[in-house]
Amino acid sequence: MADLRATLSPFAHTKQPEIDPPVLALGEREIPLYSPRLLAELYAERDYRPAWDARRAEALLELARASRGDGFNPDDFHVEAIAAILDSGDLQSVDAARRDTAELLLSDALLRYVHHFRFGKHNPERLNRGWTFQEDADADQLQADLARALAAADLSAELDALLPNPDFYRNLKKGYQRYLAIADRGGWQDIPGGPNLNVGAKDPRVPLIREHLEVSDGYAPGFVAEPELYDEDLAEAIKGFQRRSGLAADGVVGPNTLRALNFPLQDRLLAIRANLERMRWLYNDLPSDYVFVDLTAFELYLVRNDEEVWRTKGIIGTVENQTPMFRDEIEHLVFNPTWTLPESIAKKYRGVPSGYTRVRSGGRYYLVQQPGPRNALGRVKFMFPNGHAIYLHDTPSRHLFGRAQRAYSHGCIRVHQPLTLAQHVLNKPAWDDAEINRVVRRGRTRYVHMDEHLTVLLYYLTAKADAEGRVGFRRDIYNRDRRLLAALDQPVDSGAERIAFVEPEPEPEPEPVLDAPAEAADGEVVAATDAADDTAAGAADPVTGVEPTASVPAHSSEVIAASGDGGESAPATGPADALPQAEATAETGAEAAEAEPEAEAEAETETEAVTETAATESFPGADAAQAESPGRAASELTEAAEGAAADATAAAEAASGAVGGSAAASEPAIVADDAPVAEGPTDAPEPAAAGAEPEADGATEEQPADAEVSLPSASHTGLGAAPAQALSLDADGRFADRPSRVGNVAADAAGRPKPAHLDLSVSPSRIAAPAGPDAGSDSAGNAYPPVIRASRIADEPPLWILPGDE
């Protein structure tokens, strides 16, 4: 197989081969291999031995022909070329070039088949740029699929077992095949227009309505005594059709229902094909538990063990503020969330509205809506940190759920029964209805981290079927079908932009030669640094025996590092309030439209915008999370915060066992339990006349987070003679003048900084650390923060200590 080796080997393990990819001649067209590199690495594993024989080629040919039932064009998989190879016997040819060409063509067809069934034929980010997002295909997974299929005794059966086939895809495929059969029989007759049909009406159109439902929905009325009578049985069948079509299920055949019944057959076939393709974009390796947000049906449902267990209504984004289609994982919930009013709305007020707090940050004032029944985010939100600032949440605008068309939000998804969803999502005995209501009634912001993340699918589908294959066609409210429908039969030449390879690690650069370390008088090697830096960096005060502490601006969270032994606090492993800060940034990243107060907005076009920026929070390393767009930066900040929170959870569990026994194993780890946001200056003018509270659903503007902090002085910490310094945090969470570092903060044996005490009721704008746990105030008379005792530690995440003085 010298020719096969020579053809493919230049493409193995390289992103930039020095030659053009080989092409396949398909009739009058020449197309490149879908992924020369993947095929090269597949054959390299086989030492370039041939993989195909006539039996496998025949199985692939049958699969290619049957792909029509999944909405593909069989030519997508070289169906005619495969048939020609089998007819000509090229696989058994004595001509090596003909054998190699047949080998490559069959392998390319199989790669396309596996890729398209796993990830879809078309790139969604090209068809719906900015509105549909998909991760790249995993080259290792594709290569493993090909290897398994080629090694199996039955290629077809092996692929059936390997490739995804979730219920919602299988149901729509069943409906598509029903419509194909109708088309093969010549279609059907349209139903003429006329007056609305209610139960009891007699009309010559009734038999045609029954016929449509029989062929499209499998409706079986049995014996009908009066064929032209619109009876109860037919009305119930119409209600089911209306529900599947996103119409009001009133059983009345009016203009909208008639239009849906007369939807042209060829248009139905195209719509189903388009939505089978959409489903393939997100369903790869789908677990058995997930939340399915059905955007065009304005609802969501929960699946456990591949069975739907619960369903509720939803509200999605407006046409101007569309909800994107993507897949993610719910990581934590926030009960009683706060909301920071965007400036575009805050400037409408002459004072502080009821339910809001005025907060000063960086010389500017912001209005923060406190948790409560009128909060724009309601009583709970479900966070799956992403670059689009999209999440699920409650809403005080309950009346909108009574409408059939529910596209009123700023992009996020509002949930009709959010507390019930919270109970289902947490799925723990400790989080039953009573406990969730207790947390909500308490009114304090509480973050609950999920032990196991739950997949969430945000699907934009204009056709979806039930278990019987009865298809409901929905209105294309975002006008996303047109480009996809036009692309369905267009060929796709290369998959290079959609397949991700694991690149080999680069060769490490030689380490520079360092100066030899200094030696102490007794021969012990010591660090060649200033001796002042080695003086028990953060050791306990020799008089009081108290570990040095540092305070941070409080977001009213009762947060402290977890204890490792029930005595001293364990080392801090993450930001104090990194999680709420990262969320706040995420919520300001992607949605730029402005919300309007309810009193000024029309009910039909209610617009809302969400942001939850904690004006006094930040965490070290935030400057490393910059990205090309605010949304991307938000995602990275959230990931950093979540990593810190995960470390905190482990430390908290250890502390719980040492202090007061381990927490119940069935309860999800608690990430934070916030008190209300600290108020700013109290000299704000009185609020304007009472009006409807503004609401929001998506982020609008990023809020700066400048906070002034005083570091502990030498007299408090024993860290040297350096005085307390005031640090200013910029909008990105960075120290503006960076006068200090963490090196002097007390550390444990592993080198991790020790925890600080957190002030829960800070009134002065400059915060100083106490000399000891019993100290009452500093030299300026500012009250010290209370010490959180060890019994509280197990329920609290850690915090980052501010850098010590240089």
What DSSP assignment string belongs to 343-373?
Answer: HHHHTT-SS--TTEEEEEETTEEEEEEPSST
Strand partners, 697: none
| 331 backbone dihedrals φ, ψ, rounded to 5° | -110, -35
Compute the distance between CA of residue 545 and CA of residue 559 in angstroms, rounded to an integer: 23
Q: Which residue has the tokens 């850690």?
A: 798
Check if the beta carbon of residue 477 is closer than 8 Å to that of residue 461. no
What is the C-alpha separation between 64 and 62, in angstroms, rounded? 5
| Comparison of pLDDT for 373 and 632, the residue scoring more | 373
Q: Where are the alpha helices (DSSP H) in 120-205?
A: 124-127, 139-151, 155-162, 167-184
d(CA 361, CA 697): 24
What pLDDT band is residue 750 in, cutting at 50, 70 and 90?
low
User: Is pLDDT of 487 > 70?
Assistant: yes
Task: With cut-offs at 50, 70 and 90, classify the pLDDT of residue 57.
Answer: very high
CB atoms within 10 A of CB 662: 13
Q: Is the pLDDT of residue 246 over 90?
A: no
Dist CA 405 CA 605 (whole Å): 12
pLDDT tens-digit readout, 100-109: 999 999 999 9
Average pLDDT on 513-522 reads 49
Three-state SS annotation for 639-704: HHHHHHHHHHHHHHHHHHHHHCCCCCCCCCCEEEEECCCCCCCCCCCCCCCCCCCECCCCCCCCCC
- Look at strands 356-361 and 307-317 and give their pairing: unpaired
What are the residues whose beta carbons fall under 8 Å from the beta carbon of 446, sequence distance 6 or more? 334, 335, 336, 439, 670, 672, 673, 674
Per residue in 149-187, pLDDT (tens digit) is: 999 999 999 999 999 999 999 999 999 999 999 898 888
CB atoms inside a 10 Å sphere around CB 430: 12
- pLDDT (mean) for 396-402: 95
Name the residue among 387, 391, 327, 325 with its Cα closest to residue 627: 387
Judge contact between 76 and 93, C-beta under 8 A: no
Range from 348-357, 547-556, 720-729 carrying the lowest mean pLDDT = 547-556
Q: Residue 557: which residues within 8 A CB-CB, separation 6 or more?
A: 445, 576, 577, 580, 672, 673, 674, 675, 758, 760
Q: What is the mean pLDDT of the chain?
A: 72
Cα torsion 583, 395, 598, 459: sign:
positive
Relative orientation angle of helices 167-184 and 265-282, to the nearest 10 degrees: 160
Q: Give, as one character, the DSSP assignment of residue 410.
A: S
- Mean pLDDT for 139-156 is 96
Taking each helix axis from N to C end, the angle separating 630-659 and 578-587, rounded to the nearest 10 degrees, works out to 160
d(CA 476, CA 485) in angstroms, rounded, equals 12
266 CA to centre of own chain = 35
The Cα–Cα gap between 742 and 537 comes to: 10
pLDDT greater at residue 234 or residue 523 = 234
CA 472, CA 465: separation in Å to the nearest integer? 6
pLDDT bracket for residue 802 (50, 70, 90): very low
Tokens at 425, concatenated: 């999502």
Report whether pLDDT(701) > 90: no
SS3 148: helix
pLDDT classification of 490: cutoffs 50, 70, 90: very high
The H-or-E segment that residue 260 falls in is: helix 255-261
- Beta-carbon contacts of 452 under 8 Å, excluding residues fewer than 6 positions away, are none
Which residue has better confidence, 224 or 44? 44
* pLDDT, tens digit, 9 for 90 and up, residues 751-785: 544 444 333 333 333 333 334 444 444 445 544 44
Q: How far apart are CA 447 and CA 671, in angstroms?
A: 5
Residue 713 has pLDDT above 50, yes or no: no
Greatest mean pLDDT among 423-432, 596-605, 654-663 lies in 423-432
Token duo for residue 564: 């490792």
| 670-692 residue pLDDT tens | 333 333 333 333 333 333 333 33
DSSP conformation class of 28: T
Which has the higher per-residue pLDDT, 636 or 212?
212
Give the list of residues 6+ apart from residue 183 with CB closer than 8 angstroms, or none: 265, 266, 269
Instruction: Give the separation between CA 577 and CA 371, rounded to whole angstroms.
Output: 17
What is residue 761's DSSP assignment? S
Q: Do 217 and 194 form a contact (C-beta atoms < 8 A)?
A: no
Q: At what angle are helices 139-151 and 96-119 packed, to 10 degrees?
A: 120
Asked if pLDDT for residue 430 goes beyond 70, the answer is yes
Query: Residue type for 61, please?
Result: L
| Banded model confidence at residue 512, pLDDT cuts 50, 70, 90 | low
The residue among 278, 273, 670 whose CA lies nearest residue 451 is 670
Cα separations (Å) of 110 from 25, 88, 104? 16, 20, 10
Task: Examine the pLDDT at 549 and tell me if it is beyond 60.
Answer: no
